[in-house]
Structure 1
Amino acid sequence: MVARSLSMFDDLKKVSALAGPLILTNLLYVAIATIDLVMLGMLSPLDLAAGGLAIGIFNQFRTMGTGVVTATGNLVSYAQGKAHTDQITPLLNASLIIGTFIGVIFALLMANIKPFLLFIGTPEVLAEQTSNYLVVAALGLVPCFWFQSIRHFSVGLKSPGPLMMITGVSVLLTVVLNYGFIFGHFGLPKLGFLGVAVATCIVLYLSFFLFVVIACKNQVLKPYITWKVWKTNRESIAKTWHMGYPIGATYGSEAGFFTVLALFVATLGISELAAHNVVSQIVYIVFMIAAGLSSACSIYVSEAHAKSDIIHAKRIGHFGLLFGAAIMAFIAIPYVLFPEFILAPFLSAAELQQSNVVAIATHLLLIAAVLQIFDASQNIGVGILRGVGDVKSAFFLSILGYWIIGLPVAWVLGSYMNLGINGVWYALTLGLSVTALSQLWMFNYRVKSLDTIDEIQGQQA
């Protein structure tokens, strides 16, 4: 085991430098989804409802597929830490191939989702409109996963600079193309509702090609990029898939859990659902900070793991958790002191006049002040576990925290103990806390195991 060489301050600088662009990129992604919903809101209520449902379904598939190729960043970082740079190009190409395969499968599922929507009781007019959107949007899944493959490859090499600029351009393109295709401006055909889906596809393709052009000029990334994507090997494909599919399952489990909770909240009342959606969106925006921090910590833990610097890997993991919790606690202060100020941008004038919605949302913000600490911790926990090569534990711990504990408790507190929406959020906090704390325990266990193995190998040497 190598000696500890960097201080906590060095870790702060390194992690912050990598996490910063990732956080801003994540926030810009949220902006793109928000723009789509705002544009749909300019049309009919049916268009908004169908578009919102379609975007939710699209994001569920996108999240799972992105999870699979997320493994690329850790594998590339590990290869670089081991000085096996000859493995980096095959790993990138393996990610692109797997992303293509998953993209095609998911696109076919999305394009044929109407029977499922009708089966679960979706009104036919809503199912038809949603399906029409998804048939078009499905065409953008493959370039979406290509982009994510390149993204995590660049993060693995600690060179994510182009990401922020590309995502910023994507935001501007989303505004222009959405407006143009919906209303027929700028010489574009008037497509109305479907214009949003067409704009989404175009932006996904352009974002990928722009990233490739910039990456081919980047001195760090350029040496590993080839147009001969088939130049990979079975080992790289196997590594990417075996590490990636549990990550995709974990992301899908978390996203599905929140979707099911929203459906349950819908049975509690309109005011409850409105308040839930608003506060959930606030927590989701803040969550982007934790997601960027998680990716950065994960990469540096992978690098330390590759160098057998177990002490450093453990310190980065603990630092990431403490740093994330501190940021979340600081952000939560206005939730307590100025809840009306926090809620105002997310509520219409009519909703602000409904004291019931504001009262419910204000109380949920108090719960969210604690909840988002555990939410950030569990996301960072997934990242640091991935850094030491453990992706399956994160999935099973998410099943435990979300589905075995969180969901049943939400049902009991919300329905049988008459705590309503507050009970659901108490249960959500419980599920996230169990997941976060169990991940911390598992990370410490994995690090201790690696340390023991390293010591045994050192003695044998």
Structure 2
Amino acid sequence: MLTTLLRDSRALAALAVPLILTQLAQVALTTTDTVMMGLLGTEELAAGGLALVIFNQLRTMGVGLLTSVGNQIAAAAARLERTEDAAEPGEGGKTGEREAAHAEIRGIVRASMVLATLAGLAGAVLMLLIGQALIWLGQDAAVVERTRAMLLALAPGLLPCLWFQAIRQFTVGMRRPQALLQITLASIAVNAGLNWVFLHGTWGLPQLGLTGIGVATSTVYLLSCLALYLSAKKDAQLAPLLSLNAAKADGATSLRLVGLGVPIAATYGSEAGFFSLTALMAGSFGPAALAAHTAVNQLVYIVFQVAVGLSHAASINVSRELALGRTDDARRLKNTALACAAAVMTLVGIAYLSLPRVVLFPFLDSGSDQALGIATHLLMVTAVLQFFDCAQNIGVGLLRGLDDTKSGFRITLIGYWAVGLPTSWLLAYALDLATLGIWLGLLTGLATTALLLLRRYNHQLAGYRSEPVPA
């Protein structure tokens, strides 16, 4: 039993670790932007932060729209692998099946690029429209003016950002994600350099201030997309299958990706909205409560990247195992992913409980005793909450491996909005637990979501009928 778990964990980690490190590197990318904004002043930080919230909300939903591409690629690649394994030396009868599998993968890539293009254009337009509407939402006029300029610089970057995600899903689905980490790490340094150049107008370039940070971010997304594309074209296994000819995209494949992707995008948007609303609730208890909530939420967000990597890796592997007809292996993947997550969350939880001031130091001023006290109590809840947060994200990924994206969306609506939010309100306001009550409500909502998602996966897998494996 233990030997099997260790073997499965190593196999899962081979795909999950590069994805986790890539996610953490992306967090460092946005953190760099925030630090640079802070150097400009309070108004610039407020305006830039608001612009990034709008951009990230639309980017996150666009990424969700493309997430199922990796599963479709993984299943098609597994069928290709099965065909090649079944072929005998010199046998030509399998040539047609191999060509069909190649064509299927190329068709998925083309369709994903069409989807990324349409989502990027629509998102950019929507971003600018939201910028125009900010003044009607009670925001400060000076902040809105700077936010609009920032959004104008960020909007063009959404297109290459989603192109990058489409190619990323292709490489992950083919289980060759190694270049992702190298490119993302390089993008951090490039982003910091461009931020500084556009911010201060060095090397004869105009001094763009806050807008320059937006220009730098859009430029980095374009460069990252080109770097990942060129890396894939140099890979002997990936190059023949990487077809970006949108004119040859199949309508039926595109619609299938839309049908799978829309519920994922809605799930991501719902989760982001849920956490944003709890931030507004925390703000109602004063600046110290909001500062504590923000600090702990950022910690949760960083650790959450481990869950994202494990979820995506488990999801891809479930798609592959089912395409190979190995239902028992797909069932075992759930336990492997949860065990890996539990090991990491246990170590993090120990740090939260034993060294709270050290953990909170980068986010809270040591002179803010009230905020530090609130955050320390929140860390006690978070030490338990993160187990369920990780489990619910893995649950969504496992269901995605079964091509079941609608169940995940429905269950997260129940967990977040029907259970979590009312519980947060009841504990925070009716029982007067303030910010602590909000986080206890978050814990309840995430626990409900995790249990329902994992139960749904077990039920779906029990009735799953895979394709027969040819002899």
What's the TM-score, normalizing by structure 1?
A: 0.94
Contact 1:317 1:384 in 2 (8 A): yes
Flag structure 2 segments of 5+ consecutive residues without an equivalent.
81-100
| Matches of 2:203 and 2:243, distance apart in 1 | 36
Which residue does the alignment assign to 1:156?
173
Of 46, 50, 65, 1:49 maps to 46
1:25 is matched with which residue: 13, 22, 34?
22
Task: Find the aligned partners of 1:277 and 1:152 in 2 and give their Cα distance.
Answer: 31
> In 1, distance between residues paired with 2:192 and 2:401?
37
Please point out which of 217, 221, 228 is paired with 1:204: 221
Aligned match of 1:11: 8
Q: Decide whether the 8 Å contact of 1:321 with 1:381 is kept in 2.
A: no
CA distance in 2 between counterparts of 1:243 and 1:227 reads 21
Q: Indicate conservation of the 8 Å contact 1:19/1:293, yes or no.
A: yes
Alignment partner of 1:70 is 2:63: no
1:447 aligned partner, one-letter code: L
1:354 is aligned to 368
Alignment of 1:222-301 (within 5 A): 222-301=239-318
Q: Does 1:124 align with 2:141?
A: yes
Deviation track 1:146-168 (CA, whole Å, cap 9, x = no partner) reads 00000011000000011011101
Q: Detail structure 1 runs of 4+ shifted over 6 Å in the superposition.
A: none
Secondary structure, counterpart of 2:213 in structure 1: helix
Give 1:427's aligned residue: 441
Q: Which amino acid aligns with 1:339?
A: P
Secondary structure at the residue paired with 1:230? helix
Give the aligned residue type for 2:407.
S
Range 34-43 or range 130-139, more displaced: 130-139
Match of 1:309 in 2: 326
Give the SS at the match of 2:362: helix
- Kept in 2, the 8 Å contact 1:271–1:356? The answer is yes
CA distance in 1, matches of 2:244, 2:291: 48
Identity of aligned pairs, percent?
A: 41
3-state SS of the aligned residue for 2:403? coil
Distance across 1 between alignment mates of 2:122 and 2:423: 35
Is the 1:250–1:394 contact (alpha carbons within 8 Å) kept by the matching residues of 2? yes
1:397 to 400, 408, 411: 411
> CA contact under 8 A between 2:427 and 2:437: conserved in structure 1?
yes
| Alpha-carbon distance in structure 2 between the residues aligned to 1:124 and 1:40 | 18
Aligned 1:126-145 pairs, distance under 5 A: 126-145=143-162
State whether structure 2 residue 338 is matched by structure 1 residue 338: no
- Quote the residue 1:89 is aligned against: 106
Secondary structure of 1:345's counterpart equals coil
Whether 2:429 is the aligned partner of 1:418: answer: no
Tell me if the contact between 1:170 and 1:203 (Cα under 8 Å) persists in the aligned partners: yes
- Whole-angstrom CA distance in 1 between matches of 2:131 and 2:193: 30
Query: In 2, distance between residues paired with 1:209 and 1:169?
Result: 13
Q: In structure 1, how many angstroms separate the alpha carbons of the residues matched to 2:12 and 2:180?
A: 17
**Number of residue pairs aligned between Structure 1 and Structure 2:** 448
**Structure 1 residue 223, shift from structure 2 partner:** 1.2
Query: Conserved in 2, the CA contact under 8 Å of 1:35 and 1:175?
Result: yes
Q: Is the 8 A contact 1:291 1:380 kept in 2?
A: yes
Question: 1:215 and 2:232 equivalent?
Answer: yes
Q: Tell me how far apart the structure 2 counterparts of residues 135 and 400 of structure 1 sit (CA, whole Å).
A: 36
Paired residues of 1:166 and 1:210 also in contact (CA < 8 A):
yes
CA displacement at 1:186 relative to structure 2: 3.5
Deviation at 1:133, TM superposition (A): 0.9
Measure, in 1, the Cα distance between the counterparts of 2:247 and 2:329: 36
Q: CA deviation at 1:119?
A: 2.7
Residue 22 of structure 1 contacts residue 292 of structure 1 at CA under 8 Å; is this kept in 2?
Answer: yes
Runs of 5+ consecutive residues of structure 1 not aligned to the other structure: 1-5
Q: State the alpha-carbon separation in 2 of the partners of residues 140 and 431 from structure 1.
A: 34
Name the SS for the 2:234 alignment partner: coil
Aligned residues of 2:132 and 2:148 also touching (Cα < 8 A): no
Q: 1:8 to 1:85 in 2, by over 3 A?
A: farther
Letter of the 2:42 counterpart: P
Distance in 2 (CA, whole Å) between partners of 1:188 and 1:367 is 49
Q: Which amino acid aligns with 2:147?
A: T
Q: Which deviates further from its counterpart, 80-89 or 22-31?
A: 80-89
Give, in angstroms, the shift of residue 306 of structure 1. Answer: 1.2
Note if contact 1:112-1:131 (Cα within 8 Å) is conserved in structure 2: no
Provide Cα deviations, 1:84-109, integer angstroms capped at 9, x if missing partner: 33200110110010010011111001
* Matching residue's letter, 2:54: I
Task: Report the CA distance between 1:227 and its aligned residue.
Answer: 4.3
Give the 3-state SS of the residue equivalent to 1:189 in structure 2: coil
Cα distance in 2 between the residues matched to 1:397 and 1:124: 40
Q: Secondary structure at the residue paired with 2:393?
A: helix
Distance in 2 (CA, whole Å) between partners of 1:290 and 1:189 is 41
* TM superposition shift of 1:13: 1.6
1:328 to 337, 345, 349: 345
Measured at CA, do residues 119 and 404 of structure 1 come closer, stay the same or move farther in structure 2, by a change above 3 Å?
A: farther
Q: Hey, what's the Cα distance between the residues in 2 that align with 1:91 and 1:391?
A: 18
Matches within 5 A, 1:181-200: 181-200=198-217
The DSSP-based 3-state class of the residue aligned with 2:269 is helix
Which amino acid in the other structure matches residue 253 of structure 1? Answer: S
Deviation at residue 129 of structure 1 after TM alignment: 1.8
Q: How many angstroms apart in 1 are the aligned matches of 2:312 and 2:302?
A: 16
The CA RMSD over aligned residues, in Å, is: 1.6
User: Match for residue 3 of structure 1?
Assistant: none
Deviation, structure 1 residue 331:
1.3
Can you list the C-alpha shifts for 1:334-369, whole angstroms capped at 9, x where unaligned?
10011111111222xxx2112111101111111110
Is the CA contact 2:183–2:228 (under 8 Å) kept in the aligned structure 1? Answer: yes
d(CA) in 2 for partners of 1:135, 1:112: 10
* Match in the other structure for 1:172: 189
